[in-house]
Structure 1
Amino acid sequence: MDTTLWLSLAAIIALLAMSFFFSGSETALTAASRVRMHQLARSGNPRATLVEKLTSEKERLIGAILLGNNVVNILASTLAASVLIQIFGEAGIAYATLAMTAAVVIFSEVLPKTLALLRPDGFALVVAPVIRVIVFLFAPVTHAVQGLVNIILRAFGLDTTKASAISAHEELRGTVDYFHSEGEVVKHDRDMLDGILDLRELEVSDVMVHRTRMLALDADMPADELIGAILDSPFTRVPLYREKQDNIVGIVHAKDLLRAIQKAEGDVSKVNVQRIAFKPWFVPDTTSVQAQLNAFLKRKLHFALVVDEYGEVQGLVTLEDILEEIVGDIADEHDTVIEGLTKQADGSYIMDGSLPIRDLNRALDWNLPDEEATTLAGLVIHEAKLIPEPGQQFTFHNLRFKVLKKTHNRITQLRVTPIDQNVAAK
């Protein structure tokens, strides 16, 4: 070979190396963790700050890298064809095509992209300064190319300015679910993170204690009976009503009641329960759980009554109810055990109709919808489009529901069987 051929061969190798650099940089900069780069940038890492700036304008970044990559690949292929034609004649074109295809695929695409995926953050930090210069130099060309692309897309009725983007909440939720499926995040941690993300989407009506399960006492009861009922209840705060349960006139705190009994030296006849009750706090049922949590913290109260648009009491919500959406059920030594979920030997479950759908999804890792109904019974009625009778069965959401008991128009107990287990039993 003469000097010209050796120089051409060296140039081809150099161009393939540049292609290696461009391909690896593209993969690393697009796969690098934005969260990690943000943390490093906040700690004063200048290269991480540079990565953030580059990835914030992805069109310019990808355009410059692709432009550079295509230029060096085409130039390398042209030189290879020229060298091999000199050696093999016209057959050199075929040899050049085969050789450069293999070289580009292996050394300029698969190998650099694989290496970049193994260490995307570190790779991105290393190449960022060089890529920044390339993006700056190619900016006029990439801008013109992007403008031409936009014109072509508009001709087909596509507008790049209206590209859909996933919200930060959705991206974070998807990341958590993905790592849970990979086994890197345990179920409890995933549920807690999902609970935090759900606070803005939920309304207090989704987490409240419904009025049918709410303890409220008649304020006109004899003092000894009223005090006994309050102290016997498992709750710290108890609503008082007059004439009808919707007419809540006060909330009694057990600690305030005990102080009053102590001052009366144990003589409950001297205790005026209504006098120590504090004014009830009413909140609309459409209030977001996040807003209600902030209100609890601001007013330093842990208890509120939930009303609908007509002012009718629908239930109550406490700070504990909201916290349970994040950490799961909270039980203490005074909580009563509610028999609402029992697993059977055949894999089915006996459930109370009043069980909240969100609690079931959390406990059993199901995905039942809770947009139209908040309880299991409500979901069955919504899906069936009727109030079923005991013995009726329905299948939806990969579960079979059989109504076991009904009181008036309320479904009180159901048997729920996952269809997969039912099929396996056959």
Structure 2
Amino acid sequence: MDEVPLALLFAVLVLMLALSALFSGSETALMAINRYRLRHLARVGHPGARRVEELLRQPDRLISLVLLGNNFVNVLASSIATLIALRLWGEAGIAIGAVLLTITLLIFSEVTPKTLAALHPERLAFIAGYYLSALMAVLLPLVLVVNFFSTGLLRLLGVHTQNNGDNPLTRDELKTLLFEAGHHFAPRHRGMLLRLLDLESVVVEDVMAPRGEVRYLDLDDPWPDLLGQMINSSHTRMPVCRGSLDKVLGVLHLRRVTHLLADGKFDHARLQTLLDEPYYVPEGTSLTQQLLQFQANRERFALVVNEYGDTVGLIVLEDILGEIIGKFSDTPTATMSDVHPQPDGSCLVAGSASVRELNRSMGWDLPLTEAKTLNGAILEHLENIPTPATSLLLGGYPVEIVQTQGNVVKVARIGVKLKRSA
């Protein structure tokens, strides 16, 4: 090799370093590319995405191809660097050449191209797809031989090499993706998507109107009282009972009676002929399942029963939709009607306020237990009926009982959450 010009050896060495950088960057770009975006681009017909997706379907072959190319050019670069070092410094130059080549490879052929590829994986991966696909077609027999021996070695070590594809995302992982991609969504839209993911973990009992808040028509009441309730009702449907919700006769659609209210012949008996069969659902049904049941049964209104068959509340379709897109009647003042901020940073909160709604609207993280209201959470924590001025720590929040009525906490003061000491 003494007759080969030194300039030509330097040119070949630079070429090998460039090829090494190309293989190193390609490997990082292909491994770092967003697989879900890649899948989307391939589905809409992006040629580069389709080519890269085809390569990634067999990652063992792809890695073997990249490493074959990278190791070949690195070994060749090492040999050429040795020749140049011998020409320049004699045998002492072998060590010098090894050190210089190691530093040069590390900076220009490893760290720099891999950092660039990690920062812009998509752009570089699509470029790499062209030449790697061509190389795969040419070097496939050699790649298969390498894979055969490497797979055999892994099997001897007890490692399974079957490619099971991408693991499906869990709900929590998908929520993390939504948070990370938050700049692509309006805050309200992202909130809707996150609430939709949480819908499976929320049950009917969490969003229903509890029994004490259900408005119903009692056929034991005088007829003038019933007429007044029907005329002044803000609801479209109302349960019709005899005595209490334990004896539901049916559900009345108030639109059916608007033209009869002024009719002197409209009475108890005629009202009962207009009733629909009541639709019951268990209190532990998830909102996702209940939404599907409403759709399948073409219902919008259901009475909620517990494990003993007792009526404990009422749920309508709007309650479930409200969990996804927010309450239809919510305004900033309506949402905060149970919360009154104080100058010292604390808040006076009605005991009837929903713990879930407080967490959502105030950004708190009060513990979610079987109790649905702040009053219930306090009673469950204390295991006793508190008196005014009683203080407790609820999920890290200092709580002071301000007002009680009978066995119920009417108003409580909630302070700023205490930080845990290190």
| Coarse TM-score class (shorter-chain normalised) | 0.7 to 0.9
Q: 1:224 touches 1:269 (CA, 8 Å); kept in 2?
A: no
| Residue 188 of structure 1: how far off its partner (Å) | 1.9
Change (3 A) 1:365 1:160: farther
Looking at structure 1, the residues matched to 87 and 369 of structure 2 have their Cα atoms a distance apart, in angstroms, of: 73
Q: 1:227 touches 1:273 (CA, 8 Å); kept in 2?
A: no
- The residue aligned with 1:167 is 169
| Residue 268 of structure 1: how far off its partner (Å) | 5.5
Looking at structure 2, the residues matched to 203 and 379 of structure 1 have their Cα atoms a distance apart, in angstroms, of: 18
| Residue 281 of structure 1: how far off its partner (Å) | 0.4
| Residue 199 of structure 1: how far off its partner (Å) | 2.3
Q: 1:353 touches 1:413 (CA, 8 Å); kept in 2?
A: yes
Change (3 A) 1:387 1:178: farther
Change (3 A) 1:270 1:290: closer
- The one-letter code sitting in structure 1 at the alignment partner of 2:106 is V
Identity of counterpart residues, as a percentage? 34
- The one-letter code sitting in structure 1 at the alignment partner of 2:356 is R
Higher mean C-alpha deviation, range 80-89 or range 237-246 = 80-89
Of residues 274, 286, 289 in structure 1, which corresponds to 2:287? 289
Q: 2:154 touches 2:161 (CA, 8 Å); kept in 1?
A: no
Change (3 A) 1:54 1:163: closer
2:386 pairs with 1:386: no
Of residues 313, 316, 321 in structure 1, which corresponds to 2:314? 316
2:128 pairs with 1:124: no
- The equivalences for 1:41-56 within 5 A come to 41-56=42-57
Which stretches in structure 1 are left out of the alignment for 5+ residues? none
Change (3 A) 1:367 1:419: closer
Task: Give the TM-score of the pair, scaled to structure 2.
Answer: 0.83
Which secondary structure does the structure 2 equivalent of 1:148 belong to?
helix
Aligned residue-pair number? 414
- The equivalences for 1:11-160 within 5 A come to 11-62=12-63, 64-66=65-67, 68-132=69-133, 137=140, 138-142=143-147, 144-149=149-154, 151-152=156-157
Which secondary structure does the structure 2 equivalent of 1:261 belong to?
coil
Which stretches in structure 2 are left out of the alignment for 5+ residues? none
| Residue 323 of structure 1: how far off its partner (Å) | 0.8
| Residue 128 of structure 1: how far off its partner (Å) | 1.8
CA RMSD in angstroms, aligned pairs only: 3.6
Q: 1:355 touches 1:375 (CA, 8 Å); kept in 2?
A: yes
- The one-letter code sitting in structure 2 at the alignment partner of 1:199 is L
Looking at structure 2, the residues matched to 89 and 380 of structure 1 have their Cα atoms a distance apart, in angstroms, of: 85
Q: Deviations over 1:194-243 (max 9, x none)?
A: 01212233222222222233223323212221231233233222222223
- The one-letter code sitting in structure 2 at the alignment partner of 1:351 is V
Which secondary structure does the structure 2 equivalent of 1:260 belong to?
coil
- The residue aligned with 1:303 is 301
- The residue aligned with 2:368 is 370
Change (3 A) 1:338 1:238: farther
Looking at structure 2, the residues matched to 258 and 314 of structure 1 have their Cα atoms a distance apart, in angstroms, of: 29
Q: 2:367 touches 2:394 (CA, 8 Å); kept in 1?
A: no
Q: 2:304 touches 2:312 (CA, 8 Å); kept in 1?
A: yes
| Residue 282 of structure 1: how far off its partner (Å) | 0.5
Looking at structure 2, the residues matched to 208 and 289 of structure 1 have their Cα atoms a distance apart, in angstroms, of: 10
2:232 pairs with 1:227: no
Looking at structure 2, the residues matched to 404 and 398 of structure 1 have their Cα atoms a distance apart, in angstroms, of: 19
| Residue 413 of structure 1: how far off its partner (Å) | 3.0
Q: Deviations over 1:1-37 (max 9, x none)?
A: 8526444433332232222222222332233333332
